[in-house]
Amino acid sequence: MLDHCSISHKGGVVLWSRSFTPAASHTAASSSSPVNSLVREALIEGRSSDGKYEKDGYAVKWTFVNDLELIFVVAYQRILQLTYVDELLLALKTLFIKLFQPFLATFVASLHVTSTTKLSSSGDPPFLWNFQKAFEGWDAVFDKLLRGLEDKAAQERRTRVVHAPRPALDVTPPSDDVDTVPAVSNADVQDEEQIARNVQALKNRLRGRGGQAGRRGRGRTDVGSGRESVPGSDSETPTSKRKARAKTQRKWGNEAPTESDMVSLDYSYDSASEGRQGTLDVSSLVDSASLGTRTQDGLYEVKDWEFLSQGEKNADDVIAEVLKKGGQEAKPASSSLGALGSIFARLTGSKVLTEEDLKPVLEAMKQHLMKKNVAKEISEKVCEDVGQSLVGKKVGGFQTTTSAVRQALANSITRILTPKTSTDLLLSIRTKLSTPVAASQQRQTYSITFVGVNGVGKSTNLSKVCFWLIQNGFRVLIAACDTFRSGAVEQLRVHVRNLGMLGVDGATNSKGRVELYERGYGKDAAGIAKEAISYARDNDFDVVLIDTAGRMQDNEPLMRALAKLVATNNPDKIIFVGEALVGNEAVDQLTKFDRALRDFSAASGGQERGIDGMLVTKWDTVDDKVGAALSMTYVTGQPIIFVGCGQTYTDLRQLRVANVVQAILSD
């Protein structure tokens, strides 16, 4: 049974709607209705290619009529398996357009006129449309259509329940002929013989173990009896009875180590730093060419990542140049977007674009996105979204087609990459630190948790973020919550030592601005993080950076442990650290990390928390193949806060949407 059905204009005007239950009617009138959530979280953000959206127990499906700018939406309980919804949407669209085409065309034209012209100076009130009168009789048509589809679905369910008759077995009476008596299969005889041999071999092995135990008690009196040398089965050989050679153990001296021996074996932090601090080249820790800039307010901002292979051209110029190649003679080695422009160049004349016209173009576009390292699933969805926005559009020549394609490409990718939350981390930190608290309460600290799979560079890029925070005047505490990987604590200890040697605001070093909080290995990470936050609060630290152990997204026990850390400490930001080299794997990693965090953190008694942003590492290794950014942002809807692009503490960059679009669409 349906809950809600509506027909509306893309501008937000609801032409017709129907709610089938009191609860659905109440929900449809609120801002949190499934239809409003669909518009905010799917249509506006360019995630409309799935054709299905789920929210608060509802499943929502929709379809478009682009030439009239209409949206047909159907909502129903997600637990129900309504097989006729797709057929209902198609029939709704066909019948509604067929019955009210003249009125709808006039209405859409009036909206465009109203938006482009000013009201007359006479002050005449605008014309009011009476949709109830215009669509009179539509309710009866809809009821008849819905009743017919529901009856058809019920009939199909009844036919599936009835089982097909079982075929009659061909039973023949027994025969007295000796030749017809079934003989024993040779395979059965061989199987029985093999089983007998295996049983005998097992008895021999058990008897041999008993004999060995007896010989250990009697010494060597039974050696040479021959019982051990006879193999018990075809697969058992005398060599299997030989004992494996024991591993040679390392020998230590009987005397206590001398003081010189202890010094040579001491690799702790203090002795190592005393011996090497004077010889460490501080200039190797930072790259002066990649240093950020200071604003007028004194804030240190990291550089923007720029795509330089196409010069200073912006995204629109790149798209236009690529599409114009379609007017030239096609080359055998032309790229996918070059072929895209060539195909569109043939779509001339005043006509309406159809799915058949766009099919080869969208296929070329999908191949191009996949070459840019966009996940296959995301490439298909983006192309479907672009196709939906172009079907039904009228083109009057190549220039009009170029403009339509440019607008569709730019709008789709830009909507996906544009963050729906603020990426200004400094503003978030300063806002929390400046929040007034009661005299009896301690000042709050800002905590950031870094999560991700193994080997992506969480600790290294955490230190880069720490350098950026130190340059902005914050005191930072790094919590070593990776208590599993060998060397994880020592790695952070080296980073803290290096960061303490780098100057800030004219000072020769940053000692006192960064510390490491660690409790060794094998401890509970959630408890260490809680202690670190409490320690930071007591010692006036501004920011706590929590380093966690890498884990695969399919490892449920480790994901539960990570969710426990999140639920216990409720960090202000959860940043997923991922590689720019991944393609399809990015979708799987982010989807499962986000879902596991949400499910397990809520089950642990805390509030539901998911990923708040991404930090993409090894960005300097992919050149223009930056499709991982598009895949990650599409999956979570969260922004990419930083990208790592080098080995020094200054190799951190911010992403601009225009630069990423330019790289993705470059030839």
Give ∠ CA 498-502-506 in degrees, rounded to 5. Answer: 170
Q: Rounded to whole angstroms, how far apart are CA atoms 305 and 620? A: 10
Do residues 368 and 460 both lie within one domain? no
pLDDT, tens digit, for every residue of 419-451? 877 888 999 999 999 888 776 677 789 999 999
The number of CA neighbours under 13 Å toward the Cβ of 595 is 11
Does 407 reside within a domain? yes
| pTM, 2 dp | 0.63
pLDDT, tens digit, for every residue of 144-164? 888 888 888 888 878 876 654
- pLDDT greater at residue 322 or residue 142: 142
Do residues 407 and 472 both lie within one domain? no
- pLDDT greater at residue 604 or residue 336: 604
Alpha carbon 238 to chain centroid, angstroms: 56
Do residues 482 and 439 both lie within one domain? yes
pLDDT of residue 232: 43
Q: Which domain holds residue 104?
A: 4-110+137-155
User: What CATH number should be reported for the domain holding residue 39?
Assistant: 3.30.450.60
pLDDT, tens digit, for every residue of 61-110? 888 887 788 888 988 887 887 888 888 888 888 889 888 888 888 888 88
Percent of the chain with pLDDT over 90: 21
Do residues 64 and 24 both lie within one domain? yes
Does 126 reside within a domain? no
Tokens 């330089």 correspond to what residue? Answer: 308
User: pLDDT band for position 238 (50/70/90)?
Assistant: very low
Q: Rounded to whole angstroms, how far apart are CA atoms 343 and 320? A: 14
Q: Rounded to whole angstroms, how far apart are CA atoms 545 and 529? A: 9
User: pLDDT band for position 391 (50/70/90)?
Assistant: confident
pLDDT of residue 205: 75
pLDDT, averaged across the chain: 77
pLDDT of residue 546: 96
Q: Rounded to whole angstroms, how far apart are CA atoms 477 and 286? A: 21
Contact 659, 307 (CB under 8 A): yes
Does 641 reside within a domain? yes
Do residues 366 and 432 both lie within one domain? no
User: pLDDT band for position 230 (50/70/90)?
Assistant: very low
pLDDT, tens digit, for every residue of 276-306? 444 566 777 888 888 888 888 888 888 888 8
pLDDT at 170 over 60: no
The first and second tokens of residue 507, run together, are 């000072």
DSSP label of 333:
T
Do residues 407 and 431 both lie within one domain? no
Do residues 9 and 97 both lie within one domain? yes
User: pLDDT band for position 577 (50/70/90)?
Assistant: very high
- pLDDT greater at residue 168 or residue 14: 14
The first and second tokens of residue 399, run together, are 């220039």
Return the closest-CA partner of residue 660 out of 315, 346, 163, 291: 315
User: What CATH number should be reported for the domain holding residue 590?
Assistant: 3.40.50.300
Do residues 413 and 548 both lie within one domain? no
User: pLDDT band for position 307 (50/70/90)?
Assistant: confident
Q: Rounded to whole angstroms, how far apart are CA atoms 318 and 93? A: 37
Please state the domain count of the chain: 3
Least confident of 321-335, 344-358, 598-612: 321-335
Do residues 365 and 504 both lie within one domain? no
Percent of the chain with pLDDT over 70: 72
User: pLDDT band for position 493 (50/70/90)?
Assistant: very high
Region 501-523: mean pLDDT is 79
Domain end call among 417, 438, 459: 417
Residues in a beta bridge with 518: none
Tell me which amino acid residue 141 is: V
Region 461-487: mean pLDDT is 93
Domain end call among 389, 417, 445: 417
Contact 10, 111 (CB under 8 A): no
Alpha helices of 225-375 — where are they, by DSSP H? 259-265, 269-276, 315-324, 336-345, 355-371
Least confident of 32-46, 271-285, 522-536: 271-285
- pLDDT greater at residue 367 or residue 604: 367
Do residues 361 and 381 both lie within one domain? yes
Q: Rounded to whole angstroms, how far apart are CA atoms 1 and 79? A: 11
3-class DSSP assignment, residue 370: helix
Do residues 41 and 9 both lie within one domain? yes
Region 367-373: mean pLDDT is 88
Q: Are strands 52-55 and 58-65 parallel, antiparallel or unpaired?
A: antiparallel
Domain end call among 393, 417, 441: 417
Does 238 reside within a domain? no
pLDDT of residue 518: 94
Does 176 reside within a domain? no
pLDDT at 219 over 50: no
Does 339 reside within a domain? no
Does 581 reside within a domain? yes
Region 266-279: mean pLDDT is 50
Do residues 523 and 642 both lie within one domain? yes
- For the chain, the 3-state helix, strand and coil shares in percent, each to the nearest 5, are 50, 15, 40
Does 314 reside within a domain? no
pLDDT of residue 651: 92
pLDDT at 376 over 80: yes
Region 237-260: mean pLDDT is 61
Region 135-141: mean pLDDT is 86
pLDDT of residue 326: 40
Q: Rounded to whole angstroms, how far apart are CA atoms 155 and 79? A: 20
pLDDT of residue 215: 47
User: pLDDT band for position 13 (50/70/90)?
Assistant: confident
User: pLDDT band for position 252 (50/70/90)?
Assistant: low
User: pLDDT band for position 115 (50/70/90)?
Assistant: low
